[in-house]
Structure 1
């Protein structure tokens, strides 16, 4: 047996210097190793993906970069190309105004929807980014009426009357909500409708014959401008209406509950194209003879109803995801129904519902192209109608529909990226 009585144990008294990680684990090489070449199957999928990207770009880039922009017809474009690969993008440079503003919108008024589009970002900025001054919300409240006056023109008394109706409705709601939320809600709606009904006769009587901005009828609206109008207005209106329907479906009042249930289930069970045909044809049979109900307004009503039913179900899912303790906490604080919903329940439910709401909003914006079925010349309607029907550009498809896809992708991708940023900003569960 070995003698260990005189052995001395060694204990290091200084700290070893920190060594750099291996070069294969950091930087670009490390990232590629962990994300692109992490095993046999990962390497095979990466190589297959690189081949697919090369195959697509090798055919697309020559067509894109070798395109022609300065001809007046498809025949001239093909003569310039001489059989080489390239797109006939001259249709975009020649018909850009029709693609954006429609076929009959007056050219001298192009500045008006352009200004309204730029001001849209100013109006939604304080809603989307909480770090901006809250005083900017005043312009946000004014913007819908200002944009209407810019795009449609006519007398300024009409948007002022619309604004007055909302103000009167809000004042009535503030006065009656202390008695009950339902009385305040429906009282505000009645006050607003009466203001618009009575004020309409006054506006018709005192409106000047020659307004400052020339009036543009709705039948002259078209192009991507029409898609933007329908998308922005319908999404903006469907979110508060969807919240009201979701709350109504959970109401303890049976009449309110079943009205909301029937509305949601009926609208969700009907295709959107059917509702658009109803707006275009059937709705006129239920109006008094000689009544002129603007087609864009009818389409906005139907699309808003369709989207609000889906948003109501999304928000109902968010409400159901909240633990019962949140409702009990609101009751223990002595809050009434409106206060508990505004301060405690809805902020949490809406945060949970952000992905679903964005999904409905993106789908709704793309579905605005369905109005071309009812002879409204939106972006797709302009491509399928006046442009492709012309002898100069009959046969140009990839360039036009690719341009339409690019515009819709930019808008939808922007909405998606903002929603992801908003989710990160509102994240409270530190994982």
Structure 2
């Protein structure tokens, strides 16, 4: 056999070749994402055209914006017929947009500090990789924030905190004798401490005191943040309890939860706000002062709790019955099985629905403007647009409101997606 008839065998590896330009880099990304076919190419070109028209019309409005005028008429004089936004309303009224028009200007540092502490205190809850000892900041934050925003003596939030601590200690001491008995004892001890706290605070109003600010002076985006943060934080545990109560084997508990959930979900939120503002006062004794913000918080929390209860109930129903049977086989009681096995899995399934309710709830806080509460929307529709200096300006103010709400809602959405990715350990 001649050498030409022998098969050739290569003994070394060929060097890697660079891929074609159409299968790598930005060209490949454009082909895969923007121009993968005729129809998608047409849609991409149409979208680019509309984006170009939008930006070409909006950019001069932003670029020629006026930031130093003291009124709308002065803005128009400076623009002299040119296209441009009058952003001076933001520089002139930023404090009212953020804090309302009655909150003392010398006390702006207090809600600002409370907001910074909010970011610090929720970090241990949102990110499990942080040390668990930092949860003490989360526990202390509501009382510190209350003192900073509303002012007054520090004894009031301190006694409320001591009431919760004493109630928890009493609950743990007699928990072995029965959950119901322990819960009633804990509530009784907490109420007693709160009553003592009110007496002590009234007797020593100047102990480490800040200037008191009444609730009627709260306003601006600060009010939206207060309502959104408090109501979301309270509605989640109440929603879980309602969901568990709806699945309870005790008929009274079950039907109480069913009636509450169905009634609240069948009533518009604006109706509940009117009830909080007007109707609720008729059921109180004459001369009783019931803080309006507290009334609104109660109604919004009830509204959100009913929706979260249905979301959590869906998560509970999605779990296979084997999970409940496994908890029973381990000898766990109802509270232990729910806390250790059932609820962690159900809440993981319910994350998208809970986030959807939270985002909607935060946006719905703007409805308080219809009951004469000057939140961000109320400030724009009321004092600012009613003033002679800025009557007739709209896009700049509403655009500012859009940006603030978008930042908060988008942050919540992005965190939920990150959390879902972190909890998908079974798919890694």
For this structure pair, what is the TM-score category when the shorter chain's length is used for normalisation?
over 0.9
Once the two structures are superposed, what CA deviation does each residue of 1:258-299 show, in whole Å capped at 9, x if it has no partner? 111111111111100000000000000111111000000000
Q: For 1:319, which of 313, 316, 319 is the aligned residue?
A: 316
- Report if the CA contact (8 A) 1:249-1:256 is conserved: yes
Distance of 1:172 and 1:96 partners within structure 2: 48
When normalised by structure 1's length, the TM-score is 0.95
Closer, same or farther: CA 72–252 of 1 in aligned 2, 3 Å: same
Gap runs ≥5 in structure 2: none
CA distance in 2, matches of 1:209, 1:359: 43
The Cα of 1:425 is off from its aligned counterpart by 0.8
Out of 270, 283, 306, the position equivalent to 1:286 is: 283
Cα offset, 1:344, TM superposition? 0.9
Residue in structure 1 matched with residue 100 of structure 2 by the alignment: 102
CA distance in 1 between partners of 2:188 and 2:22 (Å): 70
For 2:207 and 2:170, the matched residues in 1 are separated by 35
8 Å contact kept, 1:246–1:316:
yes
| 1:28 corresponds to 2:17 | no
1:84 pairs, out of 60, 82, 85, with: 82
Per the alignment, do residues 26 and 104 of structure 1 end up closer, same or farther by CA in structure 2, a change over 3 Å counting?
Answer: same
Equivalence map 1:348-359=2 (5 Å): 348-359=345-356
- Give CA deviations for 1:363-383 in whole Å, capped at 9, x if unaligned: 000000000000000000000
Pair 1:119 & 2:113 matched: no
In structure 2, distance between residues paired with 1:185 and 1:54? 63
Q: Does 1:244 align with 2:241?
A: yes
Report the CA distance shift for 1:73/1:7 in structure 2 as closer, same or farther (over 3 A). closer
Of 211, 214, 239, which residue of structure 1 is paired with 2:211? 214
Q: Does structure 1 retain, via aligned residues, the 8 Å contact 2:114–2:148?
A: yes
CA–CA separation in structure 2 for the residues paired with 1:115 and 1:296: 21
Q: Distance in 1 between matches of 2:182 and 2:36?
A: 61
> Counterparts of 2:288 and 2:92 in 1: how far apart (Å)?
39
Task: Give the CA deviation at 1:25.
Answer: 1.3
> What residue in structure 1 maps to residue 70 of structure 2?
72
Work out which of the residue numbers 35, 39, 44 in structure 2 matches 1:41: 39
1:146-165 equivalences under 5 Å are: 146-165=144-163
Quote the offset at 1:203 in angstroms: 3.2
Report deviation, 1:136: 1.0
1:201 to 2:199 alignment: yes
Gaps of at least 5 residues in structure 1 are none
**Aligned partners of 1:88 and 1:394: how far apart in 2?**
12
* Structure 2 counterpart of 1:335, from 332, 335, 346: 332
Q: CA deviation at 1:155?
A: 1.5
Cα deviation, residue 131, structure 1: 1.2
Q: Per-residue displacement from partner, 1:39-94 (whole Å, max 9, x unpaired)?
A: 00110111111111111111111111111010111000000001111001110000
Q: CA deviation at 1:388?
A: 0.3
Could you tell me how far 1:9 is from its partner in structure 2? Answer: 7.4
| CA spacing shift, 1:17–1:339, aligned 2, 3 Å | same
> How many aligned positions are there?
426
The equivalent position to 1:50 in structure 2, one of 48, 53, 56, is 48
How far 1:335 moved relative to its partner?
A: 1.1
Of 187, 190, 196, the residue aligned with 1:189 is: 187
Give the Cα separation in 2 of the matches to 1:344 and 1:114: 40
> 2:155·2:207 contact (CA, 8 Å) conserved in 1?
no
CA positional deviation for 1:211: 5.9
Q: Is the 8 A contact 2:70 2:389 kept in 1?
A: yes
1:197 offset after TM fit, Å? 3.6
Change (3 A) 1:227 1:157: same
Kindly state the Cα deviation for residue 187 of structure 1 after the two structures are TM-superposed. Answer: 4.4
Measure the CA separation in 1 of the matches of 2:24 and 2:406. Answer: 35
Q: Distance in 1 between matches of 2:263 and 2:412?
A: 28
> Is 1:393–2:400 an aligned residue pair?
no
Q: Any idea what SS the aligned residue of 2:65 has?
A: coil
Write the mapping of 1:372-411 to structure 2, written as runs, cut at 5 A: 372-411=369-408
Determine if the alignment matches structure 1 residue 227 to structure 2 residue 237.
no
Secondary structure (helix, strand or coil) at the match of 1:230 reads: helix
Which TM-score applies when normalising by structure 2?
Answer: 0.95
How many Å separate the matches in 1 of 2:67 and 2:376?
20
